Amino acid sequence: MELLRALNLFPAVGIMLFGVTLWRLLGIDAWHWAPYWLCGGLVVYNADRLRHDSADLHNNPARYQRQARYRLASTALAAGAGLALLLLPIAERDWAALAMVLGGSLGSLSYTFPLLGRRIKELPIFKSFFPPLAIAGAYMLLPLPAESPRLAWGHWWLLSAWALLVLSANVILCDLRDITGDRAAGVVTVPVACGIARTRQLLWAMLGLAALAAWPLLHHLPGPTWAIPATTFYLAIVLAAQPRWGHHDTFYELGADGFLFLAAALALLPWW
């Protein structure tokens, strides 16, 4: 179990399943793209953990020590996943996908490393919004060249908005855990800039907007639409529980990220 956590397999698998779920809601089988999302998640999560920032040890000492113990395995997995991510579109001669993979990889790795002169993680406030923007972009744009003839564009836009809102709420919720260490290190996330109370108000507003964005979809998407309100409601429960349980790392690793697996269970399991 410790090795699986050190290699960030749980969030990477969750990222993959949520991507397939979004396209299932649109009535499209997207398992073809699952290896892209899985490999992308493995690269980004492991690369981010391999570079330790000054706030890491304070924010999550157990994770910091775990990553140090398995640094070689994490590096090998990130390198292997990165290579697979490049070879997949080349093997399929899908040059549009290759271009998006290269552009997305440059942007995503710039979050952790100064590939473009400055790390995105160091940009005030935007640090909290870049990860959900990158993930939502990978979900909704990568299959687009192949699947656009089959899409109802109004549904695609609304589902993209819903996905971006719930992903952003999840990231900002997790930033609440790191507020003390981020303040000490000079990292300006939304909670650092706004404070805990106003951040929670923002999160409630985001979940409300997510519900509004999803409402027109509930009776029109070809996929199992109950996954949308159930997932939104689950995140609301997690947000309500955060003041009581938010000091436990497990709350974030399993509870906060659990919405990825819940949505997949509701939308993908055969008995639904």
Phi, psi for residue 26 in degrees, rounded to 5 = -85, 0
- Does the structure show a pLDDT above 70 at 59? no
Average pLDDT rounded to a whole number, residues 74-99: 94
Angle in degrees, 0-180, between the axes of helices 9-25 and 153-177, rounded to the nearest 10: 160
* Rounded Cα gap, residues 73 and 28, in angstroms: 35
Looking at residue 150, its pLDDT comes to 86
User: Do residues 136 and 7 lie in contact, with contact meaning Cβ atoms separated by under 8 Å?
Assistant: no
Average pLDDT rounded to a whole number, residues 132-140: 95
Looking at residue 136, its pLDDT comes to 96
Report the percent of the chain where pLDDT is more than 90.
58
Per-residue pLDDT of 144-183, as tens digits, reads 999 988 888 999 999 999 999 999 999 999 999 889 888 8
Confidence class for position 272, pLDDT limits 50, 70, 90: very low
Looking at residue 206, its pLDDT comes to 97
What average pLDDT does the chain have?
89
Please, what are the domains in the chain?
Answer: 2-268 (1.10.600)
Looking at residue 54, its pLDDT comes to 63
Per-residue pLDDT of 217-265, as tens digits, reads 988 888 888 899 999 999 999 999 998 887 777 888 778 889 999 999 9
Looking at residue 173, its pLDDT comes to 93
* Rounded Cα gap, residues 41 and 39, in angstroms: 5
pTM: 0.91
* Rounded Cα gap, residues 90 and 205, in angstroms: 42
Residue from 252, 210, 209 nearest 230 by CA = 210
Confidence class for position 62, pLDDT limits 50, 70, 90: low
Higher pLDDT, 58 or 84: 84
Average pLDDT rounded to a whole number, residues 32-49: 93
The DSSP element (H or E) to which 131 belongs, if any, is helix 126-141
User: Do residues 96 and 75 lie in contact, with contact meaning Cβ atoms separated by under 8 Å?
Assistant: no
Looking at residue 222, its pLDDT comes to 87
Higher pLDDT, 224 or 53: 224
Average pLDDT rounded to a whole number, residues 83-109: 94
Average pLDDT rounded to a whole number, residues 58-73: 73
- Does the structure show a pLDDT above 90 at 209? yes
- Does the structure show a pLDDT above 70 at 61? no
